[in-house]
Amino acid sequence: MLLTAQTIADCLNGDIEGDSGIVVSSVINIEQGKKETLCFLANPKYEKYLYTTQASIVLVDRDFVLKHPVNCTLIRVDNAYESMSVMLGLFDTTDTLNRKGREYPSRVSWRAKIGKKVYIGAFTYISRKAIVSDNVKLFPNVYIGEGVSIGENTIIYSDVKIYPGCSIGANCIIHSGCIIGSDGFGFAPSADGIYKKIPQTGNVIIEDNVEIGANTTVDRATMSSTIICKGSKLDNLIQIAHNVEIGENTIIAAHSGIAGSTKVGSHCVLAGRTGLTGHLTIGNNAIIGAEALITNNVKEGKSMLGIPAMEAGKFRRSNVLFRNLPEISKNITELLKQYKNKMGEAI
């Protein structure tokens, strides 16, 4: 596909600085830019590449100020990062969204309901009473349990397993290796010291427009539902325990874990390797920094860092002291030595 700068600017409602007729055929990182490619600049760390890139067109924010002349054509947009995602969609040459029909061998229960333009990959198993809505894509080796419902336009990649009774909304993306609805980690100690399994009788509800990364697990509730609300995005290798609730448009990065019955609000950000203990409430718009361990409730809008976590400002001040501990210890030792000497002289 060839697109001119003018076509791209019209699509993004952008303003052109340079040659409106220049064409691009693909998108690429700005540091690897070459002729007939489109790049973007959103992170100041990469600004230096703007002045050396061989890319034909670069998307920048409207308020970006050039420090040096550039050889490329600029298109100024409201949000370069967001605009690049639009461009990536235009240049996507994969047939993921166009697949339909059924590959064999695959097994679909005669009691399942299958919508129009559904793609069912080889070795996929769809159980009885399952509902697969229009335009759903089920890639090879997917398991859909009894009574599972899947909303329109959802994409489920290879090797995903969705246990019985779970619900997946519309326009979701679930990447390879995900397990949705496995038993929660519930065991009760008996008098003889043996742990007895607590039946996990609930399900998982994933609302519309949710994306879940590869090898992430979402456990079914002991009772009621584990819920991931609409618009939330989960990275790879995340553990969501039983009865957890994730609010709308919340972002969770890789290697994070949330223990049972914790409720995370809307528009929260959980950075990589964060851990949340059970039965907590995390307020809306909270930000949990990388590797933080949350052991208490977090109020709305708070930023947290550390193990165990504390408010970000307090953590940074404490960290300054921590880094200086060797010098502080040395000074204290010297003061004690001087004090003892003086006391000795006084005696």
Rg (CA), the chain: 27
pLDDT band at 169 (very low <50, low <70, confident <90, very high): very high
What's the pLDDT at 93?
Answer: 63
Mean pLDDT of the chain: 94
Burial 25-60 (b: 16+ CB within 10 A, else e): eebbebeebeeebbbbbbeeeeeebbeebebbbbbb
What's the pLDDT at 90?
Answer: 81
What's the pLDDT at 166?
Answer: 98
Q: Name the active-site residue from 68, 175, 242, 267.
A: 242
Sign of CA dihedral 257, 213, 283, 227: negative
pLDDT mean over 8-31: 94
Active site residue 242: yes
- CA 200 to CA 193: how far, in whole Å? 21
CB-based contact 236:213 (threshold 8 Å): yes
- CA 297 to CA 119: how far, in whole Å? 44
pLDDT band at 347 (very low <50, low <70, confident <90, very high): low
What's the pLDDT at 125?
Answer: 98
Condensed to tens digits (0 to 9), the pLDDT of residues 188-215 reads: 999 999 999 999 999 999 999 999 999 9
Condensed to tens digits (0 to 9), the pLDDT of residues 281-303 reads: 999 999 999 999 999 999 999 99
Condensed to tens digits (0 to 9), the pLDDT of residues 82-92 reads: 999 899 888 87
- CA dihedral 220→221→224→229, nearest 10 degrees, is -70
pLDDT mean over 234-240: 98
Give the SS3 label for residue 228: strand
- Name the superfamily (CATH) of residues 100-313: Hexapeptide repeat proteins (2.160.10.10)
Is 338 a residue whose pLDDT tops 90?
no
What's the pLDDT at 124?
Answer: 98
Distances (CA, A) of 259 to 180, 199, 263, 293, 302: 16, 17, 10, 11, 20
pLDDT band at 79 (very low <50, low <70, confident <90, very high): very high
Looking at the structure, give the CATH architecture of the domain made up of residues 3-91. 3-Layer(aba) Sandwich (3.40)
What's the pLDDT at 67?
Answer: 94
Higher-pLDDT residue of 167 and 336 is 167
What's the pLDDT at 95?
Answer: 67
Condensed to tens digits (0 to 9), the pLDDT of residues 243-267 reads: 999 999 999 999 999 999 999 999 9
Is 234 a residue whose pLDDT tops 60?
yes
pLDDT mean over 278-282: 97
- CA 132 to CA 26: how far, in whole Å? 35
